Structure 1
Amino acid sequence: MVRLSSEESKHWSQSEVIERWQKLYSGGALVQMYQSGSPLSDIQKMMLDTQIEKWRERLSDLSWFMRCLNEHLARLANKEDMCTGRFWEGRFKSQALLDDAALMACIAYVDLNPIRANVATTPETSDYTSVKERIREYLGKSHAADNLLIMDGDNQQSTGIPFYLNDYLELLDWSGRVIRADKSGSIPMKLLPILKRLQIEPESWINQVNHFGKRWYRVVGSTNKIKTLALKLSLNWMNGQGSNSPFTASG
């Protein structure tokens, strides 16, 4: 799951944009002149300003992120296999998460992937997942990665994830047990308030988390949220507007 923040990138200084871009690419001769303090002509300054703004836009663009990731993985894979070619065929697929319920379901779906694939039995033993990092930090065994969003439970803050870690871990632990047992299960009473607060239908939670990747196309959210987005984009219909949405109408 990736959170885009184009507003944050607007506040970066030119030096910060260059520094971030140079973690991926060299930057070119003009950047080297700028960084060394060499005088630039008016034309060179204008060219550099234009280039920096292009980089600023790309640094908050999902397509460019996936392009850089693809290039890096392709080099590693091709070196290992002693061949050439792309790592992924065709364009990547992404789904926009329109509300807190969609966010919760997506995070849980990703964190439960190892359990669903039978390569782990519990969230805390699921390698390469954010939940394992969160649990280790919660237990004081390590610090979570800096780019891992905080679960602060505050809907007013856009910098974190709007539910509490304890609530999420309880719901995830129960969901993992049900998925491992391959049963539908009934939501424990103590977990109902979490789903109610996020406006998720309790009866469909497990099915939603288990089949998240197959159930939705480009957007995920309540019917009302999807309809609102469709109107904003001047579309008559969007995949996911059906009445079988597990998310209740919000607002």
Structure 2
Amino acid sequence: MTGRDFEHRKNWVRERLHLLGECFAVAIHAYAVMSNHLHIVLQFNATVSAAWSDEETASHWIRLFPPREDSDSARALKRQALLADPGRLALVRTRLGSLSWFMRCLAEPIARRANREDHCTGRFWEGRFRCQLLCDERAVLAAMAYVDLNPIRAGVVDTLDATAHTSASERIDLVRHGLPPAELLRPVAGTLPASLSISTADYLQILDWTGRALAPGKRGRIAEGAPAILAVIDRDARRWAMRVSSYRGGWARAAGGAQDLIDLAARIGQRWLQGIRLAWRLS
């Protein structure tokens, strides 16, 4: 143990996520920055970045990759060079709608910054990211709850309003500073207009209940009554709790309805996918 505190690096990740959200064709629905890992719930739409004008595309790209001499004149020269190269612009549009490029633009700057701080070189992240397809809005909401509740499940904090470096903490702060709780649940960052069908207040209620339901052995977290909105999202509260907790290992390449997983298996040439049996149980 070095005795050093690396908590400030969580802010690096959060700030970088917001920057990427302004540049990519993405909606960031949820995130949780933990001590040794990161969870993000993302929605991409490559057709959006493909439709951006040359000027929009150049602006997003230069925001991501500013010139070394970050001055107005240097940015203007880089913009001019990019606008004069249609082939390069086409490639940039593709990258701005790509999950792989999003993760690359997240991981590499954080790694370089951490290595400079540590006066070292070499690998910072353990390995390549793993991703999971979310087939419907219910799967998205369950994944968001799983992600936002990471600090509570890990025992870092006891209550939802004590969390930090999560999308839940951002939403709570927004409500405290005047966001109408009845407003539809929007991404915490991103260029896509991708609101979900429940309100911010309903989502925070669901989070509070789910956090207590998934920690039944700890005082003060016994779930008494589920919020009414859960009856709209799932058949019953216990199914919902199982759906969320299954992100620990029950779901694999995808999460959603049984038929969605069966169709996905057929598209990728497999006879079966882990999670289909679970999906039938939850149907």
Q: State the TM-score, normalizing by the size of structure 1.
A: 0.77
How do 1:17-56 residues align onto structure 2 when only pairs under 5 Å count?
17-26=57-66, 35-36=79-80, 45=84, 48-56=85-93
Q: How far 1:182 moved relative to its partner?
A: 2.8
| Distance change in 2, residues 1:68/1:229 (3 Å) | same
Give yes or no for contact 2:250–2:274 (8 Å, CA) kept in 1.
Answer: no
Instruction: Give the alignment partner of residue 52 of structure 2, picking from 12, 30, 35.
Output: 12
User: Which residue does the alignment assign to 2:263?
Assistant: 228
| Distance change in 2, residues 1:246/1:126 (3 Å) | farther
Give yes or no for contact 2:57–2:93 (8 Å, CA) kept in 1.
Answer: yes
How do 1:172-251 residues align onto structure 2 when only pairs under 5 Å count?
172-182=207-217, 188=225, 191=227, 193-199=228-234, 201-243=236-278, 245=280, 247-248=282-283
User: Which residue does the alignment assign to 1:146?
Assistant: none
| Distance change in 2, residues 1:185/1:11 (3 Å) | same
Instruction: Give the alignment partner of residue 199 of structure 2, picking from 164, 176, 179.
Output: 164
Q: How far 1:246 moved relative to its partner?
A: 5.5
Once the two structures are superposed, what CA deviation does each residue of 1:184-207 show, in whole Å capped at 9, x if it has no partner?
A: 96672x53x533422355323334
Structure number having the greater strand percentage? 2
Give yes or no for contact 1:200–1:246 (8 Å, CA) kept in 2.
Answer: no
Q: How far 1:158 moved relative to its partner?
A: 6.6
Distance 1:6 1:86 in 2: 30
How do 1:96-111 residues align onto structure 2 when only pairs under 5 Å count?
96-111=133-148
Q: Which protein has the larger Cα radius of gyration, Structure 1 or Structure 2?
A: 1
Distance 1:5 1:58 in 2: 11
Q: How far 1:171 moved relative to its partner?
A: 1.6
1:170 partner letter: Q
Q: How far 1:26 moved relative to its partner?
A: 4.7
Give yes or no for contact 1:121–1:180 (8 Å, CA) kept in 2.
Answer: no
Question: Once the two structures are aligned, what percentage of the paired residues are identical?
Answer: 34
Unaligned segments of structure 2, at least 5 residues: 1-40, 69-74, 187-191
Once the two structures are superposed, what CA deviation does each residue of 1:20-72 show, in whole Å capped at 9, x if it has no partner?
A: 111222579xx965845x9x9xxx95xx1111111111111111111121111
Distance 1:13 1:179 in 2: 47
| Distance change in 2, residues 1:77/1:245 (3 Å) | farther
1:57 partner letter: T
User: Which residue does the alignment assign to 2:42?
Assistant: 2
Give yes or no for contact 2:59–2:79 (8 Å, CA) kept in 1.
Answer: no
Distance 1:161 1:150 in 2: 6
**Do structure 1's residue 95 and structure 2's residue 132 form an aligned pair?**
yes
Give yes or no for contact 1:205–1:246 (8 Å, CA) kept in 2.
Answer: no
Q: State the TM-score, normalizing by the size of structure 2.
A: 0.69
**Do structure 1's residue 114 and structure 2's residue 148 form an aligned pair?**
no
| Distance change in 2, residues 1:231/1:27 (3 Å) | farther
1:62 partner letter: L
Unaligned segments of structure 1, at least 5 residues: 144-148
